Structure 1
Amino acid sequence: MKIVIIYGSANDQAFMQPGRDYMDKEKVAYEERVLSAHRNHAELAEYLKELNASGEKIVIVAVAGLSAALPGVVAVQTEYPVVGVPVPGGPLNGIDALLSICQVPGQVPLGTVGLHSKAGLNACMFAHRILKLAQ
């Protein structure tokens, strides 16, 4: 059982530090990857295919700013629960990312956390609670 954090950009990693601190403190297994839905789509699809085939119990936290396509793209390519994390930035200070994540079309099951400095913490705590259901 683990949490997989996928970042749309390496620049988003610092934003998730409170979440990583939580997982370290709670001894939650996790791994991180930087795979943009735009720049690394084929690599992202291959990675998700590997996760799907692993049979492991996983919750995915998808972190993205600006157009924030990553969480929705991940959600349609896996059966695992996905929690989208909007990252503040750009001319709209993350509002575009938040709307992109929470306004995915029907048949794209995707959870979303708020747009604030502790969003990464909330996402990791939520993902951990989902994992606890599998114990």
Structure 2
Amino acid sequence: MKFISIVMGSKSDYEVMKSCSETLEAFGVSYEMIVSSAHRSPERTASYIQEAEKKGAQCFIAAAGMAAHLAGVLSSKTVKPIIGVPMSASALGGIDALLSTVQMPAGMPVATVAIGKAGAINSAYLAMQILALNNEELATKLKEDRVSKAKKVETDSLEIETIISA
């Protein structure tokens, strides 16, 4: 079974990352979600990556705050795509996690999305776009979603124009 793996550095990341899993569910994309810390449980993290790949993980989404080394650790253990979601877990509002996630050495790529909920949702979309390279049904669903979003903007615009004209 092919799926997307969502790895959170802490249970506290779940409230934000459930937006990621809900987005995947809306498109019928399988996922697995676990908590495993790059710092507090490095052995668990390393063994999970191997297990997930054997089970069919096609892409990994790593959510972590503060030092946010989780995405980098995943990148060091697999050649599958890694998407990092910086979490707002410190007094710095997630900027520390963003900088940590985006500053990977050459040859160890991590695609990095926005801090928090928007990043969680976009990580799901980016992972699905990666899967859609070899899945025409998913590609079609993503295209239809874009059309739907464009129509919503047009509808919202017409409603505002009507209010302004009145």
Same-fold status (TM-score > 0.5): yes
Unpaired segments ≥5 residues, structure 2: 136-166
Q: Secondary structure at the match of 2:63?
A: strand
1:129 corresponds in structure 2 to 129
Aligned letter for 1:24? Answer: E
2:105 corresponds in structure 1 to 105
Aligned letter for 1:51? Answer: A
In the superposition, the TM-score normalised over structure 2's length comes to 0.77
Q: CA RMSD in A?
A: 1.3
**How many residues align structurally?**
134
In the superposition, the TM-score normalised over structure 1's length comes to 0.93
1:14 corresponds in structure 2 to 15
Rounded Cα–Cα distance in structure 2 between residues aligned with 1:55 and 1:47: 10
Rounded Cα–Cα distance in structure 2 between residues aligned with 1:116 and 1:46: 27
Q: Secondary structure at the match of 1:89?
A: coil
- Deviation >2 Å, runs of 4+: none
Unpaired segments ≥5 residues, structure 1: none
| Contact 2:85–2:116, Cα closer than 8 Å, also in 1 | no
Identical aligned residues as a percent: 35
Task: Say if 1:98 and 1:25 are closer, same or farther in 2 by CA, change over 3 A.
Answer: same
Once the two structures are superposed, the pairs formed by residues 1-135 of structure 1 within 5 Å of their partners are 1-52=2-53, 54=54, 56=56, 58-135=58-135
Q: Bigger radius of gyration, 1 or 2? A: 2
